[in-house]
Chains A and B, each alone.
Chain A
């Protein structure tokens, strides 16, 4: 039992320290000073905190070579790239929630604070290498998100969504926790590294281990909204305040995938042959269910909810590919997906009228005439989700990378690749259905006048679209970054994947 190396540890968790301290400052700003502008000052503080997080992560990424982390906290490219991405997503969410809440007349300082607390949990998930930390990270993220969904207390739909999310989330957490306990019982370790080596040297209790692995996979699959554990998603995404939905769809999902990949890579790698078929089925089912069911939706947020399920399926393909290429593809995809999702939701926030009335396609009608730049940004982001080449920018490459990873896995995943391509084709049906009214219909007079979108929201929408486009022309820089960001477990090449049996 060594004395903890506190300063070394603090360096490793600096983003979490910054984010949680920022959250407390934000809370304090919410109760100090003049009443007017409290929530705005709090939001600005939260935004600044998120920016510091981004800068910090990029600094670590570009600075001196990374020292090895500890058995609790990883210190690799994966951690810092995704931390930067998640902090950026949080910053965008701060701006979007503030604009949205202000329009609804319920802006308050707790929202940005909770966003930062959720971000603390999320960034932790990019680095966690101990199941205890993993669990706490997931809980921190989830707890904050439950509350964020319920923030609009006058909205019955939001309350319903929050209750559903909370109950089902607790249900799935129980499975995760049970799984963690069983894995600990079987391997005697809570640390991913320890579990991995215990498993590799032949577990004493393979049955207990398997049951634990199964239950942990269930818990994680719930968090990433993989079918059949996706049912909460449409209802919750639909009922939550639009800006919070964007945050959940982009960042929460990204964080869940980060820990999903790290756990499978570091702890469960020797068991690949066992869990591979399970995730294979989940990935295929998620892609098909997400894309097909999205076709039948009328409300934009429900369409995007199903679309996010479909994207979880694509990302699972990257996880299933289980190689350095797969990890690269995952990181690349998460960046592309976050950009497109945040951009699209920024446009939706700009279009909301401050009530909790669900947005339908007609609300997009004539967007080209009302807000030409926003219409273009929306089209680019949606085309990016579709994976359209050039006009859809980086989204095309994201799918491309996943496909490549699937086909180059030590056991090529042709079937999954085919499912991916076919279901992407299906997705054209609803994605184009979102763009079409914006460009081809004339505006419908709104029941309630919609105020001009705030500059911050517009800036986010347009910035996301521009970055999507630029990376779509020059994807190599992002590819290089993603290659550097594969978790250290994959650094030794595809040796871990040799255990896959056809």
Chain B
């Protein structure tokens, strides 16, 4: 790993973790959502460093773009935006417990990893090519065709569900 890559790795990692921390500690929904957007952006940087620029781009487009916009839109539409309107339901005890549980989870994951070999250093792809979409598309439409088609059915289900639940009541 080159020094530059290493530098960017730590930068994006710090950005990701910092934004995520800010996301969970903000009281207002809108600031929290914006911090989440930030997290997504930083993550996409990490993807690019992992030699997966396509995933990084999709991350920005789908999560930071589409999903978060809808999120913020809904929050603002429903006028939930003001912070401090309502106290944090979890209370200080809940927040502390959450912290402890989160730390324990992390500790256990690390503990599980204690015997593992050190991961091999990331080697930049030797067959670096400008066309990163092709291999993804290849896989998606051959081996993973079934999964791809299934996704459409999952989306259909979500669509039907959303329409059914949100539709204005007609009868009864």
Check A-B contact in the complex, CB < 8 A.
Answer: yes
Residues on A facing B (Cβ under 8 Å): 1-4, 6, 9, 13, 20, 24, 27, 72-73, 105-106, 108, 110, 113-114, 117, 120, 124, 130, 132-133, 136-137, 139-140, 143-144, 146-147, 150-151, 153-154, 204-208, 210-211, 214
Which residues of chain A are within 8 angstroms of B142 by Cβ–Cβ distance?
1-4
Residues on B facing A (Cβ under 8 Å): 108-109, 111-117, 119, 138-139, 142-147, 150-151, 153-154, 156-158, 160-161, 163-165, 169, 171-172
CA distance A108 to B164 in the complex (A): 10
Tell me whether A114 and B112 are in contact (CB under 8 A).
no
Tell me whether B161 and A132 are in contact (CB under 8 A).
no
Tell me whether B150 and A140 are in contact (CB under 8 A).
yes
CA distance A153 to B163 in the complex (A): 13
Which residues of chain B are within 8 angstroms of A146 by Cβ–Cβ distance?
161
Tell me whether B161 and A136 are in contact (CB under 8 A).
no
Give, as a whole number of angstroms, the nearest-CB distance from A247 to chain B. 15
Q: Contacts A9-B146, A205-B119, A207-B111 known; list 13 others, CB within 8 Å.
A: A24-B156, A72-B146, A105-B171, A110-B164, A114-B160, A130-B147, A136-B151, A137-B150, A143-B158, A147-B157, A147-B160, A147-B161, A211-B109
Instruction: Pick the residue among B114, B161, B172 that contacts A207 (CB under 8 A).
Output: B114
Give, as a whole number of angstroms, the nearest-CB distance from A379 to chain B. 35
Given contacts A1-B139, A72-B146, contact A208 B112 (CB under 8 A): yes
18 contacts between A and B (CB under 8 A): A1-B142, A1-B143, A3-B142, A4-B142, A73-B146, A110-B164, A114-B157, A120-B153, A132-B144, A136-B154, A140-B157, A144-B161, A146-B161, A147-B161, A153-B165, A205-B119, A207-B115, A208-B113
Q: Is the interface of A mostly helix, strand, loop or mixed?
A: helix
Which residues of chain B are within 8 angstroms of A205 by Cβ–Cβ distance?
113, 116-117, 119
CA distance A110 to B170 in the complex (A): 14
Give, as a whole number of angstroms, the nearest-CB distance from A290 to chain B. 25
Give, as a whole number of angstroms, the nearest-CB distance from B154 to chain A. 5
Tell me whether A140 and B154 are in contact (CB under 8 A).
yes
Tell me whether A207 and B112 are in contact (CB under 8 A).
yes
Given contacts A143-B161, A204-B117, contact A4 B143 (CB under 8 A): yes
Instruction: Pick the residue among A120, A147, A210 that contacts B165 (CB under 8 A).
Output: A147
Instruction: Pick the residue among B146, B154, B161, B169 that contacts A13 (CB under 8 A).
Output: B146
Which residues of chain B are within 8 angstroms of A136 by Cβ–Cβ distance?
147, 150-151, 154
Which residues of chain B are within 8 angstroms of A108 by Cβ–Cβ distance?
164
Given contacts A147-B160, A208-B116, contact A4 B150 (CB under 8 A): no
Tell me whether A207 and B160 are in contact (CB under 8 A).
no
CA distance A133 to B151 in the complex (A): 9
Give, as a whole number of angstroms, the nearest-CB distance from B25 to chain A. 20
Tell me whether B160 and A210 are in contact (CB under 8 A).
no
Q: Is the interface of B mostly helix, strand, loop or mixed?
A: helix
Which 3 pairs between the two chains have the least Cβ-Cβ distance? Answer: A147-B161, A207-B113, A207-B112
CA distance A208 to B158 in the complex (A): 33
Tell me whether A144 and B157 are in contact (CB under 8 A).
yes
Tell me whether B153 and A20 are in contact (CB under 8 A).
yes
Which residues of chain A are within 8 angstroms of B157 by Cβ–Cβ distance?
114, 117, 140, 143-144, 147
Give, as a whole number of angstroms, the nearest-CB distance from B59 to chain A. 15
Q: Which residue of A lies closest to B162 (CB)?
A: A147
Instruction: Pick the residue among A4, A124, A204, A206 that contacts B145 (CB under 8 A).
Output: A4
Which residues of chain A are within 8 angstroms of B114 by Cβ–Cβ distance?
207
Tell me whether A105 and B172 are in contact (CB under 8 A).
yes
Tell me whether A110 and B145 are in contact (CB under 8 A).
no
Which residues of chain A are within 8 angstroms of B165 by Cβ–Cβ distance?
147, 150, 153
Which residues of chain A are within 8 angstroms of B146 by Cβ–Cβ distance?
9, 13, 72-73, 133
Give, as a whole number of angstroms, the nearest-CB distance from B116 to chain A. 4
Give, as a whole number of angstroms, the nearest-CB distance from B108 to chain A. 7
Give, as a whole number of angstroms, the nearest-CB distance from A282 to chain B. 18
Give, as a whole number of angstroms, the nearest-CB distance from B148 to chain A. 10
CA distance A250 to B155 in the complex (A): 25
Which residues of chain B are within 8 angstroms of A210 by Cβ–Cβ distance?
112
Q: Which residue of A lies closest to B163 (CB)?
A: A110
Which residues of chain B are within 8 angstroms of A1 by Cβ–Cβ distance?
138-139, 142-143
Give, as a whole number of angstroms, the nearest-CB distance from A502 to chain B. 24
Which residues of chain A are within 8 angstroms of B172 by Cβ–Cβ distance?
105-106, 154
Give, as a whole number of angstroms, the nearest-CB distance from A372 to chain B. 34
Q: Which of A27, A136, A146 has the most chain B CB within a 10 Å cutoff?
A: A136
Q: Which residue of B lies closest to A215 (CB)?
A: B109
CA distance A137 to B117 in the complex (A): 34
Which residues of chain B are within 8 angstroms of A124 by Cβ–Cβ distance?
150
CA distance A230 to B138 in the complex (A): 41
Given contacts A110-B164, A117-B160, contact A143 B147 (CB under 8 A): no
